[in-house]
Amino acid sequence: MAPRSDGQAYAVEAVVNIDNCVSCGICVGACPTATPFRRNSAIVPGIELPDFSIADLRKRTMAATADKQGNTRILVYACEHSGAESLQGPDATVITMPCVGMLPPSFIDFALSRSYADGVMLAGCAEGDCYYRLGNEWTQQRVDGTRDPYLRRRVARERLAVSWLPGKSGRQKQVLAEFIARLRALPAPSKERRSDRA
Ligand code: SF4
């Protein structure tokens, strides 16, 4: 923490020590200003990765399932170390990031409530073997509502799947297959969508 440099409230502000930063993006996922719910204002999160902005993640979320039909359009947010790219297929579109902990939970809410997906899957490194040590654990805690920022309660948990499994084992694919079957058994979701500023 360092003395405030921008005249805003509070005496100190967080400063990134670039010699220690590993560009995991977990700080982005933890920042409550990194939300996709915008209509007219620009997205200006408190912290960003230089080569993967929250505005970019939002655009990719909005476009992810544009080529998919039916009620099993699944958006997979995945850690690029998890091997989950192989989940890409007729039902699933995969968006990778340095660590799944980079994902603000509000994106899950956004994708489902705005009908950009019928289901969201999170795929990270295997339990106890996170490339960035705590990304999978903290993401699970955000989903469970025990670590800020929380995934809102209104998000239908039956439309969310989570995998902390090794990509090479094929078990991620099994989780996806079971998720597709679960979505098929649910009542068809509303496809009504409010217009979002691109
Ligand atoms: S959370 Fe990750 S990206 Fe953010 S400052 Fe720390 S090491 Fe860097």
174: helix, strand or coil: helix
Please check whether residue 63 lies inside any domain of the structure. yes
Please check whether residue 26 lies inside any domain of the structure. yes
Nearest ligand 1 atom, CA 16: 5
* Amino acid 67: pLDDT: 92
Integer CA distances (angstroms), 70 to 21, 86, 145, 151, in order: 42, 21, 30, 26
Q: What is the pLDDT of residues 28-73, one digit of tens each?
A: 999 999 999 987 778 888 899 999 999 999 999 999 999 999 999 9
Nearest CA to ligand 1 atom 8: 21
Instruction: Report helix angle 54-63 to 106-113, nearest 10.
Output: 30
15 lines ligand 1 (CB under 6 A): no
165 lines ligand 1 (CB under 6 A): no
**Alpha carbon distance 75, 120 (integer Å):** 5
Please check whether residue 192 lies inside any domain of the structure. no
Please check whether residue 195 lies inside any domain of the structure. no
Residue 194 has pLDDT above 70, yes or no: no
Q: Which domain holds residue 138?
A: 2-185
Task: Choose the most confident range, by mean pLDDT, from 8-12, 26-30, 40-44, 186-190.
Answer: 26-30
Q: What is the pLDDT of residues 68-127, one digit of tens each?
A: 999 999 999 999 999 999 999 999 999 999 999 999 999 999 999 999 999 999 999 999
Please check whether residue 31 lies inside any domain of the structure. yes
Looking at the structure of the chain, the number of domains it has is 1
Please check whether residue 25 lies inside any domain of the structure. yes
* Amino acid 166: pLDDT: 86
Cα of 23 vs centre of ligand 1, distance in Å, is 5
Cα of 56 vs centre of ligand 1, distance in Å, is 18
Please check whether residue 194 lies inside any domain of the structure. no
Please check whether residue 22 lies inside any domain of the structure. yes
Nearest to 120 by CA among 93, 97, 147, 138: 93
Nearest ligand 1 atom, CA 26: 1
CA 142 to chain centre: 11
